[in-house]
Structure 1
């Protein structure tokens, strides 16, 4: 496969580059407890890949409190959760990059294929800096400018547009169902990491199985 056959590879952040899902869970759990709502790690699976405000709505619905707050109050609650989360982020280091990711990125870049980041996290720049990956990506979508959260394709389409890539000639890598749906809706080739991601075009159990030659082969077989 030549470089011209593939325009770009776009990564999700959480669960693909690093795993801050547990930090998100701890921050949401802390906020939920203050509101008299109990959530567990099973419930937390529903929050993967969706925006902060959408996550808050699900938590409020879980506690039957979704009608108890104004929009501005909900925005303050979301900010409070983010402050909690940022405290946990201070623990991140280069050692927290998930297995296989550094090698995968290196192999993609060695072939001159642009790479992008499509994360709904507004903390993505801080996370990349903590991981010492802030200069690796050719383009990182600004989550604050995305109007529609995953599974809407906006964030992946934005990444492709800014990278000068055709979605139908690009690959997206995700670990959440909403993220895979977002990739598929954009027209990109979807690589799923985890289980139950049945819409993915190619799926592996964990990031250590993300081998560039195997991904390219799967991509080529779909063209």
Structure 2
């Protein structure tokens, strides 16, 4: 049977690893400092969204108007705290089933890429000892538009030298699913994205990928 896909493009946070609690703690610290209400429900709206767009969502709760310079300072403060928290990460934060599945997909000859809106993707991958595993890494430093724009997925596909219909994207957020579909790629949904109507496959666990990538 002819293989349907040649490359697999992964979102990072929520798919390969989970850094939600670090994001939450950093944004919460920043919001508390400004006297702005912030909770986990608001935090969920930030998934797959760029740093500055995330900040704008948080500032919706504020009655004050902030300058672009102030907003940049707020975002930088959050990111510095986030990076401090990331220093706690190590290979122990990489689920063994995830690593085993990645190894199996590589053994089967699939090209692999990371497509993340995060500007800290390379730092996280280094902490997980995965920085050299993927053929291509496209993150927030390489794109102008964050998800649900298709840019990050198109760049990953181009980097892999594959056509869109040769790629399968693995995503956990609605914004990522939308962006991948806009790029003309099939999507395997995991976590919160597994129930989205547009996904090609719903994954109960990461290792389910092995069933669709023979």
The TM-score, its normalising length taken from structure 1, stands at 0.90
Stretch moving more, 188-197 or 25-34: 188-197
1:184-195 alignment runs, 5 A limit: 184-195=181-192
Find out whether 1:114 has 2:117 as its counterpart. Answer: no
Structure 1 residues 64 and 191: alpha-carbon distance in aligned structure 2, compared to 1, 3 A threshold: farther
Residue in structure 2 matched with residue 183 of structure 1 by the alignment: 180
Find out whether 1:155 has 2:152 as its counterpart. Answer: yes
Picking from 75, 78, 92, the partner of 2:75 is 78
Q: CA deviation at 1:100?
A: 2.3
What's the Cα RMSD here?
1.5
Residue in structure 1 matched with residue 15 of structure 2 by the alignment: 16
Residue in structure 2 matched with residue 220 of structure 1 by the alignment: none
CA distance in 1, matches of 2:63, 2:153: 33
Residue in structure 2 matched with residue 221 of structure 1 by the alignment: none
**Could you list the per-position Cα deviations for residues 149-178 of structure 1 after superposition, in whole angstroms to 9, with x for gaps in the alignment?**
100110001000011011111100011110
Q: Which runs of 4+ in 1 moved over 4 A?
A: none
CA distance in 2, matches of 1:55, 1:87: 19
**Could you list the per-position Cα deviations for residues 64-119 of structure 1 after superposition, in whole angstroms to 9, with x for gaps in the alignment?**
44xx1112221121111000101110111111113521122111111221100001
Picking from 151, 163, 168, the partner of 2:165 is 168
**Could you list the per-position Cα deviations for residues 31-51 of structure 1 after superposition, in whole angstroms to 9, with x for gaps in the alignment?**
001111111111111000110
Structure 1 residues 216 and 64: alpha-carbon distance in aligned structure 2, compared to 1, 3 A threshold: farther
Segments of structure 2 that go 5 or more residues without pairing to the other structure are: none
* Residues 112 and 134 in structure 2, CA contact (< 8 A), matched pair in contact too: yes
1:42-57 alignment runs, 5 A limit: 42-57=41-56
The TM-score, its normalising length taken from structure 2, stands at 0.93
* Residues 107 and 212 in structure 1, CA contact (< 8 A), matched pair in contact too: no
Q: How many residues are aligned here?
A: 212
Segments of structure 1 that go 5 or more residues without pairing to the other structure are: 218-223
CA distance in 2, matches of 1:194, 1:13: 13
CA distance in 2, matches of 1:94, 1:203: 27
